[in-house]
């Protein structure tokens, strides 16, 4: 198991479990809960969710999945931008805690920037920390310019993580955001690290996977995990997918394999707009 240590001292798995699109179908709930529990069994004890996902439905799935196991889980959720006023953050957190069946979040993120000033949101987060309802806070979908607004010199105060889109087909953050966050001791969390079909079906990626007798998604995930200090949170609502993803934490790609992937999915040569889903 690979681990990443956050700036607040928390040691968390580099490979976690995402929940985007979970909770949208009552018929899928049993499989989703089973997949999350299987992930916990395999040591993928970081679970990421958000009040936006199925309008709280995903948090409900997570709450069921972690029942009786909360102490082993590093639990992350996110607040809507329109709820990110000082008072709004408080109310949103209370709703999330209720759906998740817990009294504390390990990490609470601002899902993306909205109309409320960052100072208000941060004040709300800090109040939640003081009350013991969250242990740490961070952001999501923040580019390097956004991160610099937290303070002079790009030191983003108590922000411990920035969750952004990152996969083989979306490498723009490597140009400036990854080094900026590393310099400020802010951990990158990669959402949708498997990309879409165009990535996973790429002939070069498929060839590497076939040679190793593993899924192309496993190779794509191992590629993300090659980046020091980066946490990957792929969504997997089926046990088989969770098990395939788990293999990635033990997979080290060779220099030749990385060179092939760099040729097909070239690294950025200039700053690009931050990708979002």
Enzyme catalytic residues = 53
Q: Which two tokens stand for residue 5?
A: 């240590």
Q: Return the bridge partners of 188, or none.
A: 162, 230
Helices 216-225, 255-264: axis angle to 10 degrees equals: 100
Cα separation, 143 vs 104, whole angstroms: 28
H-type helices in the chain, by residue range? 29-41, 57-65, 86-100, 118-130, 144-148, 177-183, 197-200, 203-212, 216-225, 239-247, 255-264
Straight-line distance from the first to the last Cα atom of the chain, in angstroms, rounded to the nearest whole number? 28
Nearest CA among 267, 271, 272, 109 for reference residue 186: 109
3-state secondary structure of 188: strand
CA distance to 121, 146, 153, 156, per residue, from 149 (Å): 13, 5, 9, 8
Q: Is 277 exposed, middle or buried (0-12, 13-18, 19+ CB in 10 A)?
A: exposed
Q: Which two tokens stand for residue 157?
A: 């105060």
Total length of the chain: 277
């Amino acid at each position: 198991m690979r681990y990443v240590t956050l700036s607040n001292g928390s040691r968390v798995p580099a490979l976690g479990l995402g929940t985007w699109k979970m909770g949208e179908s009552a018929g899928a709930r049993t499989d989703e809960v089973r997949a999350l529990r299987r992930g916990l069994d395999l040591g993928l004890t970081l679970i990421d969710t958000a009040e936006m996902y199925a309008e709280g439905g995903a948090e409900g799935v997570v709450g069921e999945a972690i029942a009786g196991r909360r102490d082993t889980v590093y639990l992350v959720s996110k607040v809507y931008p329109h709820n990110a006023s000082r008072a709004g953050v408080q109310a949103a957190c209370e709703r999330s805690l209720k759906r998740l069946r817990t009294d504390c979040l390990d990490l609470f993120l601002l899902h993306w920037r909205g109309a409320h000033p960052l100072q208000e949101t941060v004040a709300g987060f800090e109040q939640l920390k003081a009350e013991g309802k969250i242990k740490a806070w961070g952001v999501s979908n923040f580019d390097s310019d956004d991160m610099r607004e937290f303070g002079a010199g790009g030191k983003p105060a108590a922000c411990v993580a920035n969750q952004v889109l990152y996969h083989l087909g979306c490498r723009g953050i490597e140009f400036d955001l990854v080094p900026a966050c590393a310099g400020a001791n802010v951990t990158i969390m990669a959402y949708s690290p498997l990309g879409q079909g165009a990535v996973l079906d790429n002939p070069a990626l498929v060839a590497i996977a076939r040679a190793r007798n593993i899924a192309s998604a496993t190779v794509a995930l191992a590629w993300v995990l090659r980046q020091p200090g980066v946490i990957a949170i792929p969504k997997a609502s089926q046990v088989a997918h969770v098990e395939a993803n788990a293999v990635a934490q033990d997979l080290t790609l060779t220099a030749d394999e990385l060179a092939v992937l760099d040729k097909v999915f070239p690294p950025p040569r200039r700053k690009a707009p931050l990708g979002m889903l």
